[in-house]
Chains A and B, each alone.
Chain A
């Protein structure tokens, strides 16, 4: 019985240490993404808490390898490029991602104007194959959650995908999947419409 208690205490101690590691590493991120992980527009930093652990780790790996964020016109991505270098190992990336997920997600006030969610719903029919009807994404398809995210960030990313600022690196397979999808959005109004619809999915 004592041995069991000892093993349990060591195990729980290790878990607590892993949690603490994530929290400690996240301190580097708070200046831009905020202590609650909800993102700060002034810093061009998106909300992180709506994203899954797998997606977060994948993005950190992409930033670190230069697959994402290494484009001359990607102002926000170029800020993330050196920050990702502060995570030395995959274990660190997992620890910080687990901590971010543990912060919990909540709806974010919209900032864009002029989007029509009714028109956007029709356009979203293309997106739901990967991102799901509820916008929560699908890890198996490398599709992130879209809900509880800043609308200005989504607009910037759609434009980035369309212009090749994001997703044009030959090694970025998931990005290459999204690029042709972004081409289907003819203009900024269509982007705003679909984002307005995605905002209605927030919970």
Chain B
């Protein structure tokens, strides 16, 4: 349905920013539907007001008339536009529910998973690594860099270590709040290779404005090469540190200061 509707839309959003996820088109069409309907009424009402101002402008010897709006004909001036706007509301609600269901409720089974941890003022991404399973030794951790494989269905698990943040990837048309103490899962499927912005879209402190990161959408070969180059190799010293009995305390203290 959205592909069909998109043919009749102006396509300004896509012209401003490419669509790099499967559901980007749905958000764009929804924006277009709302913009067109609201814009139609805005300009119609504005035009009518200007017409009335001009048509009934001040003339010598003509007195203003007081209208109480009680006759049926006078009431129709309110009722007809009111019902028309209600129809437009339904025309907005139907695609809104469809988009909400497709993006927030119906999460497809993932090919890959990624953990996204936000904090003041950086993003940490835990990639599943070569085994494709999160939480194992070969996970690749990166700061402010998210590496994704094109045409792959991802589920993300979003966390916050301190205050509220919002995980926003404009080319995916994705924006999801991160709330401390909760793990919020969602999905996306990249469909366009390239390097794009990630930003925080929730005021989170003094450096909120520079809490940016980059998403790299790579072909299967490029992504495999990136995994091969970045899979952690535990040195002897790091293995000793990993076995250190104080490590859980270290983590706890990190959070507590």
18 A-B residue pairings within 8 Å (CB atoms): A31-B205, A71-B143, A72-B124, A78-B119, A78-B121, A78-B122, A78-B143, A79-B122, A82-B207, A155-B253, A162-B241, A162-B246, A163-B247, A165-B254, A168-B238, A187-B245, A187-B246, A188-B246
A27-53 to B contact mask, C-beta < 8 Å, 1/0: 010011000000001101000000000
Chain B residues close to A by CB (< 8 Å): 117, 119-122, 124, 126, 141, 143, 161-162, 205-207, 210-211, 237-238, 241, 244-247, 249-251, 253-255, 257
Instruction: Decide if A70 is an interface residue (CB 8 Å cutoff).
Output: yes
A86 engages B143 (CB within 8 Å): no
Additional pairs, 19, CB under 8 Å, beyond known A73-B250, A74-B254, A164-B238: A31-B206, A32-B206, A42-B257, A44-B257, A72-B117, A72-B126, A73-B254, A76-B257, A78-B120, A78-B124, A79-B120, A86-B207, A152-B257, A159-B246, A159-B253, A162-B246, A163-B241, A163-B250, A164-B241
Across the interface, A81 reaches (CB within 8 A) one of B143, B245, B250, namely B143
A75 engages B119 (CB within 8 Å): yes
A74 and B257 CA atoms in complex are apart in Å by: 10
A155 and B122 CA atoms in complex are apart in Å by: 23
Instruction: Decide if A7 is an interface residue (CB 8 Å cutoff).
Output: no
Given A83-B207, A164-B241, does the pair A75, B255 have CB atoms closer than 8 Å?
Answer: yes
B251 engages A73 (CB within 8 Å): yes
Instruction: Decide if A85 is an interface residue (CB 8 Å cutoff).
Output: yes
B249 engages A163 (CB within 8 Å): no
Shortest distance between the CB of B5 and any CB in chain A (Å): 40
B244 engages A162 (CB within 8 Å): yes
A28 engages B206 (CB within 8 Å): yes
A31 and B207 CA atoms in complex are apart in Å by: 10
In the bound complex, residues from chain B placing their C-beta under 8 Å from that of A70 are 143
Shortest distance between the CB of A137 and any CB in chain B (Å): 24
Instruction: Decide if A65 is an interface residue (CB 8 Å cutoff).
Output: no
Shortest distance between the CB of A2 and any CB in chain B (Å): 47
Shortest distance between the CB of B162 and any CB in chain A (Å): 8
Interface members, chain A 56-101 (any B CB < 8 Å): 66, 70-76, 78-79, 81-83, 85-86
B122 engages A156 (CB within 8 Å): no
A45 and B252 CA atoms in complex are apart in Å by: 17
Across the interface, B254 reaches (CB within 8 A) one of A28, A75, A83, namely A75
Shortest distance between the CB of A31 and any CB in chain B (Å): 5
Shortest distance between the CB of B161 and any CB in chain A (Å): 7
- Residue of A32, A42, A74, A75 with most partner-chain B CB within 10 A: A75
A112 and B253 CA atoms in complex are apart in Å by: 13
A82 and B118 CA atoms in complex are apart in Å by: 13
A-B pairs with lowest CB-CB distance, top 5: A78-B122, A72-B124, A82-B210, A82-B207, A82-B121
